[in-house]
Amino acid sequence: MDRTVMFPPRVLVIEDDQDVSALLERHFRERGCPVAVAHSGEEGLGFAFADPPDIAVVDVMLPGIDGREVVRRLRADDRTRKCRLVVTSVLDPDDLIGLADEVLAKPFRQSAVARLVDSYRSSVAQESQESQEE
């Protein structure tokens, strides 16, 4: 059975606001997820390429390499191509459609993080079942 079905997803949070990153980290840990936190696009890409996460939560408005570029690079690299990408922003979520797999609008609730984890687990379980049926 696939590791991602048996174990909680590994999460990388790339968020420059210390308070927001701490809140996201806490919410994911409460769902049983191991979490790494980066506070810049450069640092986040380094973490992601060294130990690819199952879910990457990327703030759109990062200093230096912004979140849009981080998402583009994660999608372009074989190591992180299959990672579930979630962008966070105070911008209108409709402006971010198509940028990532999901949008987490700020301010967010703990229930939104729970839905992300549950959605990830459901999709991985379905993919695993479909591959076993082939």
| DSSP secondary structure, 30-60, as one string | HTT--EEEESSHHHHHHHHHHS--SEEEEES
Domain topology for 3-133: Rossmann fold (3.40.50)
115-129 tens-digit pLDDT: 888 888 888 777 766
Contact present, 55 and 86 (Cβ < 8 Å)? yes
| Residue 5 scores a pLDDT above 60 | no
Residue ranges per domain, the chain? Answer: 3-133
Q: What pTM, to 2 d.p., does this model score?
A: 0.87
